[in-house]
Chain A
Amino acid sequence: MTHDASSMVRTHPAGNFLRGALANLGMTWVLLALCLLFSALTWSEQQPGGAAAARGVADDILAAHATPQRVLVAVRGQPDDVAYADILAEILRERGATVVAVVKGEPKEARAALAAANAAAKPLDVIAGSAASAAWALFTDLPTDFPALGSPSIVQPRPYAWPNFLKLENLLNIANQIAVIAILAVGMTLVIMTGGIDLSVGSMIALASVVTAVLVRDFAGGVEADTLGMLLAGLGGVAVGALAGALSGGVIVGFGIPPFIATLAMMLVAGGGASMLAKGQSVYQVPDSFMWLGRGADLGLPNAVVLVLLLYGVAHFVMTRMTFGRWLLAVGGNREAARLSGVPVAGTLLAAYILSGALAGLGGVVMASQLKSGSPNFGQMYELYVIAAVVVGGTSLAGGEGSMIGTLVGALIIAVIQNGMNLVGIESYTQRVVLGGVILAAVLLDRLRRR
């Protein structure tokens, strides 16, 4: 019989991961389509900067003129331009050209340099600038103003076409923006998979951010705080989230209160608690190093992004390979059957809410770090975005099914839509309308695909 043979086939972990991603292929396609769309819409002329621009300009100069040349480099005082100018000067010297002067500042400084060169009565072959400095009025009538220089040509980096959306800094921007939502979505997936919901996660961001910031301010030495102090304060934020999750979970499991109501109450309690604790204000008495988690990048990627990837890896493993994941699915799929199979239903549910609370707390700490403060205004409406991410990712609100990879894709879809609309310049009110429509369309598409 065929089923005996196929049931013996062992599945490989990597194969499982791939299959998980493929099962969410519908949504992955949507994500790709959105990326393509925004790439097309933000296709525009880019001004290169830094080393790449310097190399290009140096090539242009050396190709057009016979050696040796005399070059004046003139740019504005901005860090980007300065870096470009310094690198360009170095490359030109290496390759045998004479750099007469490197001006980094105002047009009048460039004028002084030109005047000096003019006085020396040595002709100038090239003036190299950036896109901005090349347009300075000073360079328009050189032969009249500085007759001794001859007629130098003005060279600037060549612009190229590339979508704003796909620029590295924008992609990192998306990753940073989505970090908090993605972290919360891990916990929300667990809860929704049991057939529940956690509305308190948005307020939990506020509460955890305030708790962490207040702990740093009052107990770890404020702006003088050391690493250990900040670490403990951050753990405090996470612990408050876990505690709140334990409370809602306890009420849900112990008294049979519907999760919607229990976590709605917790949302009010946590939100109000955050305001009380912070006296309605932002708490920003934290050291610069407080931003390590949210803004730092120790491994080439932003730390927050590393944290997200780590969390999803662990969560995926828990869901697919661990007893706890199996219990979650069983409890969400058929609570009575799970109970009669010896699954610790109450413990599983409680754990889901505690984890959701703790992860929301962690999200709050990350946001506090990103914004270098704690505030009762953080995280507003986040519960809705998080739920949307989970549902768009293919987890059923009825419980019993879902995947972490799907949730990550869902979170990315929401981030890409928001970011893309910002880039295209859509007004924020319109953005909400579009986002709502897209969420609806994504879920609809998923339903159709499953038919």
Chain B
Amino acid sequence: MTTPPLLSMEGIAKSYPGVQALAGVNLELGSGEVLALLGENGAGKSTLMKILGGAVRPDAGRIVIDGVEQSIRSPLDALGAGVAVIHQEFNLVPALGAADNIFLGQEVARGPAGLAWIDRGAQRRRAQALLARLGADFDADAPCRTLSVARQQLVEIAKALAAGARILVMDEPSAALTTPEVAALHDVIRELRREGTGIVYVSHRLEEIAAVCDRVEVLRDGRNVGGASVAAVNRSDLIRMMVGRELVEEFPRRSGTRGDVRLVVEGLTGGTAVRGVSFEARAGEVLALTGLVGSGRTEVLRLLFGADRRDSGTIHLDGRPVDPRSPRAAIAAGIGLLPEDRKLQGLVLGLSVRENFSLPSLARFSRAGVVRRGDEQTACAGAITALRIKTPRQETAVRGLSGGNQQKVVLAKWLERHCEVLLFDEPTRGVDVGAKVEIYQLMNDLAAAGKVVIMVSSDLPEVLGMADRILVMHDGRITGRIDDAATATQESIMELAVT
């Protein structure tokens, strides 16, 4: 008799109003196995993992762990069954230290039952040991809000280990990490695999799959479309399984030539994050701004957009000075920003697709303060088709859209604004391969139309594939300028980024 797999999910179904998110999905995971769960935006990956983690109840199906059927009705049930899910939005209490977060709800206590107090010393030692096992040595007492995203993620993993999880789910863990941080995360995953943990790894970055996963399972429209051993498939096989068609190029070529200098930034300074940044951007090119997280890339965009206070520096667009004191002023001057965090900065989650879409352009859609609903709906329908946004209706609240489709709504709203300068901060974070190509195509079209296109990205293949010129930042300053991106490599960029 063969031993049952560590985890087996059978016939899982879940529907939301207007969408069948999952229609009878099966999933198996062995111990010491890293399974890549792949699929287009809205394929149902997150929903499946939320069901496993007890955050969402399935309409049908069963979950069997070690041959025993489990009834998982809450995150607590899931933890009890040995399942820990690390969602893309972390569940840490910002004001508490790493140790307190790791042992939240299962505090290391001393004293008689009912009167027990937390043994902070022991708790700190154990937390530090767990973090050390993950290769981290930062202070376990530092409040979590002061930790970088990568470290917060390690705290989440340590939390899962402390709870004794044998099945670990990571939903797009690399989306907010830089290349070296992703490599470190993969080391942690390999270590956990050696210890026999079963891991489900959800990601849209296909190069990571070969690096760390053993097997892939692909979903499309809430169904299994196939699985394979990683060794047996190549990149284009994966893409074909996910998208259902061949993708000609991952980074479409741009037509047209570079034009005149349009945007000139000199001595841009704001707080300590950005110190004396100068650069120019031309019509017809895509300018990439890269570097480690915290190097000041995002802050440069925010200063240009008036989202943060600019201490000094000048900005000229087409020879005329612009002074973006607020996002409203920046927008009026023709500048648009796709912020990096769609949920916190990009979208009003409770509002509909249509309402989010038209928010920056309301003035154009209204007369005397009254919104012309018809125009708004027509434009929104056009954007939904053009960007292939997967939503049941325009009136659906964006909260109910999958991560990648939410990102497309943010994109749509800024494209609709017809800006002269478009600042893209991690434009393809969480977007599937097919949609990425569409977004790249849109960026190319904008550049070809003579707009200024500036992109911040941590995804180095994306930077190399899309940019004409690359600026590398470190510690608030530009430390490298690569004027012909074709000559750059991941290594040459990383070298500039860490010095």
A-to-B contact residues, CB < 8 Å: 2-4, 6-8, 10-11, 321-324, 326-327, 329-330, 333-334, 336-344, 400-401
Contact = CB atoms under 8 A, between A and B. Distances in A.
B370 A321 contact: yes
Interface in B345-391: 345-351, 355, 358-360, 362-363, 366, 369-371, 373-374, 377-378, 380-381, 384-385, 390-391
9 contacts: A3-B393, A322-B369, A323-B369, A327-B362, A333-B348, A336-B344, A341-B413, A342-B359, A400-B348
Contacts of B378: 8
A400 B371 CA distance: 19
B359 A326 contact: yes
Contacts of B413: 341
B39 interface: no
Contact of B381 (A7, A339, A341, A400): A7
Given A11-B377, A321-B370, A322-B370, 5 more contacts: A7-B384, A323-B370, A334-B347, A334-B348, A338-B348
Given A326-B355, A334-B344, A400-B348, A340 B385 contact: no
Residue among B350, B377, B394 with max Cβ neighbours from chain A (10 Å): B350
B331 interface: yes
Contact of A3 (B347, B360, B391): B391
Contact of A333 (B345, B350, B362): B350
Contacts of A338: 348, 359
Contacts of B32: none
Contacts, number: 101
Contacts of A327: 362
Contact of A7 (B326, B351, B377): B377
B371 A326 contact: yes
Given A11-B373, A337-B345, A340-B337, A323 B380 contact: no
Nearest to A342: B331
B370 A334 contact: no
Dominant SS among interface residues on chain A:
helix
Interface in B306-339: 307, 326-328, 330-332, 337, 339
A323 B362 contact: yes
A343 B359 contact: yes
Residue of B305, B362, B366, B377 most packed against chain A (CB within 10 A): B362
Contact of B328 (A323, A326, A334, A344): A344
B389 to A, nearest CB: 8
A8 B377 contact: yes
Give the 8 A-B CB pairs with smallest separation, nearest first.
Answer: A333-B348, A342-B331, A341-B359, A334-B348, A7-B394, A333-B350, A341-B360, A400-B350
B94 interface: no
Contacts of A344: 328
Contacts of B345: 336-337, 340
A11 B380 CA distance: 14
Given A3-B390, A329-B355, A334 B349 contact: yes
A6 B19 CA distance: 13
Given A7-B380, A333-B350, A340-B339, A321 B371 contact: yes
Nearest to B381: A7
A334 B347 CA distance: 7
